[in-house]
Amino acid sequence: MDNQKLTGNLLLLLLFQHFIFNYGTEVCSNTILPGMKGEQGGKGDEGEEGKMGKMGPPGLKGDKGVKGIEGPPGFKGKPGITCDCGRYRKVVGQMDINISKLKNSVKFVKNVILGVKETDEKVYLIVKEAKKYKEALINCRLRGGTLAMPKDEDTNSLIASYVSQAGLTRVFIGLHDSDKEGQFVYVDGTPLQNYTGWSPGEPNNAFVNENCVEMENTGFWNDVECDLTIYFVCEFWKKRRAAATVT
Ligand code: GN1
Ligand code: CA
Ligand code: CA
């Protein structure tokens, strides 16, 4: 009975295989091949917003704006430190003393070593080279000065003591009456005024042609011949003058 059932099933299976093998392709091909093209579908829904693009180059510089209104005043500053004026005054005072000492030292060097005398404005120099009046004047000018012109008693005394200390008896000074007899003028063209240092009896134009002036070591003046060859005294301004007249 079981054998009969098994045989029947086996037969059925073989029959099925045969059927599939010989006719299956045709049956399945109807389901795998694409169908006819369908009609165009309707418009789809709008997509999502795309990603943000790359940043562009910077724009051009704008115009300068209008100046704003002035701001409020700032806060008051802290009080300054009080000046120690007393201390500074003392320092300045000491400096003045030192400057004064230095000036005296320079004066000493000038007087003793260089052998000159000076007033506040001028320096005087005895030139120990015997020369006629005209050459003496040229020599002083070449040195940057002129023949000494004592115009007051103090200056005259200073030059006189200088002549005396130098062991000399007479020197030419810058005074003459070459242009008009008896009318003495200094080499800068100025005439004699309040002060004169004439020796008693002078000027006497003794040898008719005494048109130049010497100073004796006493400080007295005497008119002498211009061709006399003697030492002379030059004077120099200490400070440069704005419009100096050649004398
Ligand atoms: C006379 O004496 P003595 O030589 O210092 C003269 C001057 C003349 C000078 C000329 C008082 O001076 O006037 O200039 O000779 N003195 C008197 O060398 O006559
Ligand atoms: Ca004369
Ligand atoms: Ca004379």
Asked if residues 74 and 80 have their Cβ atoms less than 8 Å apart, the reply is no
Own/partner long-range contacts of 133-142 (Cβ < 8 Å, ≥24 apart): 133/172, 133/176, 133/212, 133/226, 133/227, 133/228, 133/232, 134/226, 136/172, 136/232, 137/174, 137/187, 139/232, 139/234, 140/174, 140/232, 140/234, 140/235, 141/246
Q: What mean pLDDT is reported for the chain?
A: 86
Task: Average the pLDDT over each of 29-38, 105-114, 235-244 and give the range with the smallest value.
Answer: 29-38
Average pLDDT over residues 128-147: 98
Asked if residues 162 and 206 have their Cβ atoms less than 8 Å apart, the reply is no
What are the pLDDT digits (tens) for 83-106? 778 888 999 999 999 999 999 888
Q: Is the pLDDT of residue 57 over 70?
A: yes
Query: What span, in angstroms and rounded, lies between the C-alpha atoms of 223 and 210?
Result: 5
Burial per residue of 74-108, b for 16 or more beta-carbon CB atoms within 10 angstroms, e otherwise: eeeeeeeeeeeeeeeeeeeeeeeeeeeeeeeeeee
As for ligand 1, residues whose beta carbon falls within 6 Å of it are 201-202, 204, 206, 210, 222-224
So what's the pLDDT on residue 241? 72
Asked if residues 127 and 145 have their Cβ atoms less than 8 Å apart, the reply is no
Q: Considering only residues 182 and 106, tell me which one the structure prediction assigns the higher pLDDT.
A: 182
Average pLDDT over residues 130-137: 98
Nearest-atom number in ligand 1 for the CA of 203 is: 13
The alpha carbon of 208 and the centre of ligand 2 are apart by a number of angstroms equal to 7
Query: What span, in angstroms and rounded, lies between the C-alpha atoms of 190 and 203?
Result: 18
Q: Considering only residues 126 and 247, tell me which one the structure prediction assigns the higher pLDDT.
A: 126
So what's the pLDDT on residue 97? 95
Nearest-atom number in ligand 1 for the CA of 199 is: 11
Q: Considering only residues 188 and 47, tell me which one the structure prediction assigns the higher pLDDT.
A: 188
The alpha carbon of 204 and the centre of ligand 1 are apart by a number of angstroms equal to 9
Q: Is the pLDDT of residue 16 over 60?
A: no
Asked if residues 126 and 168 have their Cβ atoms less than 8 Å apart, the reply is yes
